[in-house]
A and B are shown apart, each in its own frame.
Chain A
Amino acid sequence: MIPASFEYRRAGSVEQALGWLSEDPDSTKLLAGGHSLLPLMKLRLATPGVLVDVGRVPGLSYVRDAGDHVAVGALTRHRDVEISDVARAHVPLLAHVAGQVGDPQVRHRGTIGGSIAHGDPASDLPAAVLALDGVLVIDGPRGRREVGAGDFFRGFLETALAPDEMLTEIRVRKAPGGWAFQKFNRRAQDWAIVGVAAVVNGGARVALVNMGATTVRARGTEEALAAGAGIAEAAARAPEGLEPPSDLQGSAEYRRHLATVLVRRALEEATAAGG
């Protein structure tokens, strides 16, 4: 449980962090809350040469009402998203999901930017951001760019972020309609075996946790609903085209089954809540 040796630098600004990152992007990692990276380093599954700690960079922890969307600073801790009045009022799904991540210790240290940038398909927040049609704001040596959540998650622990870039803001569209989050696990602190984030607002967007190499949308369900199918019928198509993992917590077959049950429950709940 002792990581391989590394050099530690504490960044005072985004510019400084990006400068250090650009020196040797492939063996440099950004450290925020440390709740994804440090376990990997302690197991020596990750052995970065340089850690750039952005945890104290000022001005990146906020939840703001930005008109048609809510803007969340990348360094905002899960707990701060969970209790944010702005998030609760305009994107209650995001606030709720932030309160479901890990356990209280994790939620007080982990950051939304860290969770999204890690790109773990078993994490809850990527699914919430996908269901909310989020936009990821990325800064780097080539300037600032914005990537839609649908294009951001590329593969297992792989995102649209280049090694010399940094995620600085997460924007999610205000979602005044119905929503639901179904997280299925064996212990409260665990990653979801399968999770479902649903937003029902005229149409429906349904994103799934741990049903593939990335967080994914339940396209089969969304298409069925758009075509006028009932909830149960649409939910039955949730795993369509997906290749969920098999691991100690559940086989792929079981995950496909869970997806149908949990999507149905999520849609029923979201609809009942005003979707």
Chain B
Amino acid sequence: MSTTLTDGPAAGVVGTRMLRREDPALLSGEARFVHDLVVPGALHLVLVRSPYAHARVISVDLSAALASPGVVAAFSGAELAGEWGSPMPCAWPVTADMQSPSHLPVAVDEVCYVGDAVAAVVAASQAEAQDAAAAVAVAYEELPAAVDLEDAASDRVLAHSALTSNRAYTWELVPDAAAVERAFADAAVTVRERYVQQRLIPAAMEPRGVCVVPQPFGGEYVVYSATQIPHILRTMLGITAGVPEERIRVVAPSVGGGFGSKLDVYAEELLCLALARRLRKPVRWSEERSEAAQATIHGRGQVQEIELAADTEGRVAAVRVRLLADMGAYLQLVTPGVPLLGAFLYHGVYDVPAYAFTCTGVFTNKTPTDAYRGAGRPEATYAIERAIDALARKVGVDPQEVRRRNFIQADKFPYSSPAGLVFDSGNYEAALDAALELIGYEELREAQARRRGEGATRQLGVGISSYVEMCGLAPSRVLASLNYVAGGWEAATVRMLPTGKAQVVTGASPHGQGHVTSWSMIVADKLGVSPEDVEVLHSDTAVSPLGLDTYGSRSLSVGGTAIALAADRLIDKARLLAAHRLEVAPEDLSLSAGQFSVRGSPSSAIGLGTLAFEAFTAHDLPEGMEPNLEASATYDPTNFTFPFGTHVAVVEVDTETGKVDLVRYAAVDDCGNQINPLIVDGQVHGGIVQGVAQALFEEAVYDGEGNLLTTTFTDYLVPAASELPSFSLGRTVTPSPSNPMGVKGIGEAGTIAATPAVVNAVVDALSHLGVEEMAMPVTPERVWRSIGASASGTGGGR
């Protein structure tokens, strides 16, 4: 595939920077989120949560709560235990011997993290439910808590008294162990690094919310949830709450972000359903911000050890990785699989012959972890991109040059990776060149040398990160090989309405991505209608019965492809009808801007709008043709897609205070063909900020007893615009050969690339002072201590 250095061609509306159709409603406050839904008579659920990281529940006294004003009901975990058809679901048993402690929505006799629910209170208002929840008296017997990940891995303290080890599983990807051993034995240079991926709190703008409305007759329930996965949720709710699946309708109204945190099945969703069933009333729950910090999954949480075997020129012969992954207290929907999504990418964009990866999942007495924007791939990219910089320092070669020497070359695609994937297309050097040009790399190096020479207080650092990710989750057969219990397809229906408007039904479930805009652009070009005349229906299992929802940069390359295929099928049918009406053979017709015309006789033509009406009235259809123009497609991708790019961060570090200022940032991303470059820009912007946030600001901090200390935005530092420079964005376009539109996905790229770029820049700013280690987040105090430690010769940051 060839690479071009522009946004790509724009024949119709696809490829243009059309403003998002979603935004007027979102910006004006017209959009309705779960908490905004007015449901008369709804009861409010509030949970009593464990203040201990690990404890036995001796007793739960609900009497004071039940006597509290407005209270309708209150339950202990034991009283609710009969509601559950099965424990909370984990859909990804990565190994046959994986351990998974039983996980109920409300704990019965043992709580395993601060925030684990122990009782449920239902009242007429949220305020009354909160007051009553504070009156529930729970007697605990505190147990030792496994808090630190590496300590937990030693089994010194067990996170669950029912388990004999904290080890959930060990998963290996070692295609050729002997080759790896040989490469390290022969290596002139080795690099061995240890990195900590701190825990992150997803902090979506909208916290979670659920409202379950029982229908008056027939035992049916409408579940409104702030979720990314209405379809998966419906199935899982049915199984876990013991309600037949067809009696549950899940609706995701406007959803204010997720970043993976709403790719889950949560206790509160199950509780609202079970309590609505038990109390025969609508039951709702709205998460509070501090509650979200401990009751919604965390991201990351790994200790990584990465080794490179290389020659003196910096050419890498082998990569060997050992991970400890913090599962938290329980396995949520895809918790154990998150490290596996990175397992194939620890050699990054480099052509490395020998590869070995091992991961052990470990239980701790902390909030469960699960997928968080990038899920496994940011962790992998961080490790290899930091290690490549370490190698560059060791062999004394510029970091951009070391990358060049190791890149998978453009003529090697499709590239069979050492981890067993086939990378679809790529041109890594083109993206690197464009990024260095955009940032003015040579001038920056000169400026850096000047400041070093002057001994300036504010030192300059430049950090590079070249990345590749696997997106478009996922080919169902590959998921089977990884023991995931569902497929990776997506479904769509496209129909023409009698008035010539188009309607799209998708199984993808947007929560900020701009799907309505993108899908209407695709269909507009296919059918020759205006994007405004395309209605997109989504996120309601009654409207789109089939779907696997939105995560893993899959919506466009999988869901969008299904839409494009359905539109093509609709056109195939319309062509037959057009041929019938124009009395020509179908193959004599060409389609342009929604008009079928006879080749060589352009005055003989008929529009799709007219055909839609003809198909609707069905007065004169060809023999055997069904009425209406409608077609469906379910697309199962044949391969992942592999977006890539290079980001460059420029920081200034105040060597007296340790303060790091990100002063410039350039990103060149290649996500194949773009439907809407403006939406791509938005995804890259947000992704960069989230990546920078991990590098410099955010960390879920626990104390030694397992108390979460960062439960407000005063302590959990989500950066704002004031902490960031303007980003310089560029793009190369290398279409994917794996799907008809040549698209790849862009939802996670910024997050994946930015974190190592920024930390590499900080180390680069200080390397002349002897600083090589830098833990995340790079706080001013850490930087100050690193400089001091290096100056006094004790080495290493803290």
Interface residues as binary, B697-730 with A (CB distance below 8 Å gives 1, 0 otherwise): 1000100000001101011010110110000000
Query: Do A248 and B701 contact each other (CB < 8 Å), given the known contacts A188-B722, A189-B722?
Result: yes
Q: Indicate whether B16 reaches chain A with its CB closer than 8 angstroms.
A: no
Pair A43/B697 contact, Cβ less than 8 Å:
no
Q: Which stretch in A63-71, A126-134, A214-222, A251-259 binds the other chain?
A: A251-259
Please indicate the chain A residues that have their CB under 8 angstroms from the CB of B281 in the complex.
none
Question: In the bound complex, do residue A254 and residue B781 qualify as a contact, i.e. CB atoms below 8 Å apart?
Answer: yes
- Give 9 A-B pairs besides A5-B127, A193-B780, A258-B657 with Cβ atoms closer than 8 angstroms: A2-B127, A2-B130, A4-B131, A103-B720, A189-B722, A190-B714, A248-B710, A254-B780, A257-B784
Q: Is the CB of B717 within 8 A of A186?
A: yes
A187 touches B781 (CB 8 A): no
A190 cross-chain contacts in B, Cβ below 8 A: 714, 717
1/0 contact string of A231-259 vs chain B (CB within 8 Å)? 00000000000000000111100100110
Say which residue of A5, A103, A186, A188 sits within 8 Å of B779 (CB atoms). A186
Nearest-neighbor residue (CB-CB) of B709 within chain A = A248
Nearest CB on B from A124, distance (A): 15
Is A187 a contact partner of B697 (Cβ separation < 8 A)? yes
Partner among A1, A189, A248 whose Cβ is within 8 Å of the Cβ of B720: A189
| 29 residue pairs bridging A and B, Cβ less than 8 Å apart | A1-B289, A2-B126, A2-B130, A43-B712, A103-B720, A184-B657, A184-B659, A184-B780, A186-B696, A186-B717, A186-B779, A186-B780, A187-B717, A187-B719, A187-B720, A187-B723, A188-B720, A188-B722, A248-B701, A248-B709, A248-B710, A249-B779, A250-B781, A254-B781, A254-B784, A254-B785, A257-B784, A258-B657, A261-B656
Q: Which chain A residues lie closer than 8 Å to B130 at the CB level?
A: 2
Main DSSP-derived SS at the A contact region: loop
One digit per residue, 1 when the CB lies within 8 angstroms of any chain A CB and 0 when it does not, for chain B 649-685 equals 0000000110100000000000000000000000000
**In the complex, which of the residues A103, A193, A248 has the most CB atoms of chain B within 10 Å of its own CB atom?**
A248
Interface assignment of B290: CB less than 8 Å from any CB of chain A = yes
Q: How far in angstroms is the closest Cβ of chain A from B76? A: 23
Chain B residue nearest in CB terms to A193: B780
Taking A1-B289, A186-B780, A187-B723 as contacts, is the C-beta distance between A261 and B131 under 8 angstroms?
Answer: no
Q: List residues of B whose CB falls within 8 A of some A CB.
A: 126-127, 130-131, 288-290, 656-657, 659, 696-697, 701, 709-710, 712, 714-715, 717, 719-720, 722-723, 779-781, 784-785
- Select one of B127, B659, B715, B781 contacting A251, CB under 8 A: B781
| Nearest CB in chain A to that of B711: its residue | A43
Question: CA A262 – CA B780 in complex, angstroms?
Answer: 14
State which of B657, B714, B720, B723 has its C-beta within 8 Å of the C-beta of A261. B657
Spell out A's residues near B (CB within 8 Å).
1-2, 4-5, 43, 103, 184, 186-191, 193, 248-251, 254, 257-258, 261-262
Residue of A nearest to B46 (CB): A2
User: CB distance A248 to B715 under 8 Å?
Assistant: yes
A254 vs B785: C-alpha distance when bound (angstroms): 9
Q: Give me the 10 closest cross-chain CB pairs, A-B, nearest first.
A: A188-B722, A254-B781, A1-B288, A261-B656, A2-B127, A250-B781, A248-B715, A2-B130, A187-B723, A261-B657
A186 touches B127 (CB 8 A): no
Cα A62 to Cα B262 with chains together (Å): 49
Q: Which residue of A lies closest to B207 (CB)?
A: A1
CB distance from B458 to the nearest CB of A (A): 12
The residue in chain B whose Cβ has the minimal distance to the Cβ of A4 is B131
User: What residues on B are CB-neighbors of A188 within 8 Å?
Assistant: 720, 722-723
A24 and B506 CA atoms in complex are apart in Å by 61
Instruction: Tell me how many residue pairs across A and B have CB atoms closer than 8 Å.
Output: 55
Q: Contacts of A4 on B, CB cut-off 8 Å?
A: 131
Which A residues are in CB contact (< 8 Å) with B715? 248
- Could you tell me the distance between the alpha carbons of A187 and B777 in the complex, rounded to whole angstroms? 14
Closest-by-CB residue of B relative to A262 is: B657
| Assembly CA distance A188 to B722 (angstroms) | 6
Contact A250 to B288, CB < 8 A, known contacts A5-B127, A186-B717: no
Alpha-carbon separation in the docked complex, A191 to B289 (Å): 20
A128 CB to closest chain B CB (Å) equals: 21
Residues from chain A with Cβ under 8 Å of B656 in the complex = 261
Is there an interface contact between A5 and B720, defined as CB atoms closer than 8 Å? Answer: no
How long is the Cα–Cα vector from A81 to B758 in the complex, in angstroms? 38
A187-B720, A258-B657 are known contacts. Are A1 and B290 too (CB-CB below 8 A)?
A: yes
A193 to B715, CA, bound (A): 12
A257 to B785, CA, bound (A): 11
A248 to B657, CA, bound (A): 16
B106 CB to closest chain A CB (Å) equals: 22
Bound CA–CA A261/B131 (angstroms): 48
Report chain B residues within 8 Å CB of A250: 779-781
Closest residue of A by beta carbon distance from B69: A5
Which single residue of chain A is at the shortest CB-CB distance from B660? A186
B595 CB → nearest A CB, Å? 53
Taking the closest CB of chain A, its distance from the CB of B723, in whole angstroms, is 6
Nearest chain A CB to B776 CB, angstrom units = 14
Q: Flag if A186 contacts B657 (CB, 8 Å).
A: no
The CA-CA distance from A275 to B127 in the complex, in Å, is 55
How distant is A238 from chain B, measured CB to nearest CB, in Å? 14
* Closest Cβ neighbor of B291 among chain A residues: A1
CA distance A43 to B291 in the complex (A): 11
Chain A residues within 8 Å of B701, by CB: 248
- A105 CA / B781 CA spacing, docked (Å): 29
For residue B794, give the distance in angstroms from its CB to the closest CB of chain A. Answer: 15
Most B C-beta atoms less than 10 A away, residue of A43, A186, A189, A261: A186
Give the chain B neighbours of A191 by CB distance below 8 A: 714
Minimal beta-carbon separation of A267 from chain B (angstroms): 15
Contacts of B126 in A (CB 8 A): 2
Provide the residues of chain A in CB contact with B717, threshold 8 Å.
186-187, 190
Q: Which residue of A lies closest to B287 (CB)?
A: A1
Nearest CB in chain B: distance from A181 CB, A: 16
Taking the nearest CB of chain A, how far is it from the CB of B206, in angstroms? 14
Chain B residues near A261 (CB-CB < 8 A): 656-657
Q: A1 vs B719: C-alpha distance in the bound complex, in angstroms?
A: 22
Bound: A254/B780 CA distance, A: 9
Residue among B657, B701, B715, B719 with max Cβ neighbours from chain A (10 Å):
B657
Nearest CB on A from B362, distance (A):
25
Q: Which residues of A contact B720 (CB under 8 A)?
A: 103, 187-189
Most buried by A among B126, B289, B701, B714: B714
Distance of A261 Cα from B654 Cα, bound (Å): 11
Chain B residue with the shortest CB-CB distance to A188: B722
The answer to whether B290 touches A43, judged by C-beta atoms less than 8 angstroms apart, is yes
- Shortest B401–chain A CB gap in Å is 34
A250 to B779, CA, bound (A): 9
Give the residue name and chain of the A residue nearest to B718 (CB). Answer: A187
> B698: shortest Cβ distance to chain A, in Å?
11
Q: In the bound complex, how far is the Cα of B656 from the Cα of A249, in angstroms?
A: 17
B712 cross-chain contacts in A, Cβ below 8 A: 43
Q: Which residues of B contact A248 (CB under 8 A)?
A: 701, 709-710, 715
Least Cβ–Cβ distance between B710 and chain A, in angstroms: 7
Alpha-carbon separation in the docked complex, A43 to B293 (Å):
14
The complex places the Cα of A187 from the Cα of B720 at a distance, in Å, of: 7
Q: How far is the CA of A207 from the CA of B719 in the complex (A)?
A: 28
Chain B proximity of A260: nearest CB distance (Å): 9
Bound complex: CA A190 to CA B779 (Å): 14
Residues of the B chain whose Cβ atoms lie less than 8 Å from the Cβ of A262? 657
Q: Are A187 and B289 CB-contacts (below 8 A) given A5-B131, A261-B656?
A: no
Q: How far is the CA of A131 from the CA of B656 in the complex (A)?
A: 25
| Nearest CB of A to B761, in Å | 17
List, in ascending order, chain B residues with CB within 8 A of A257's CB.
Answer: 784
What residue in chain A is nearest B781 (Cβ atoms)? A254
Contacts of B781 in A (CB 8 A): 250-251, 254
The minimal Cβ–Cβ distance linking A44 to chain B, given in whole angstroms, is 8
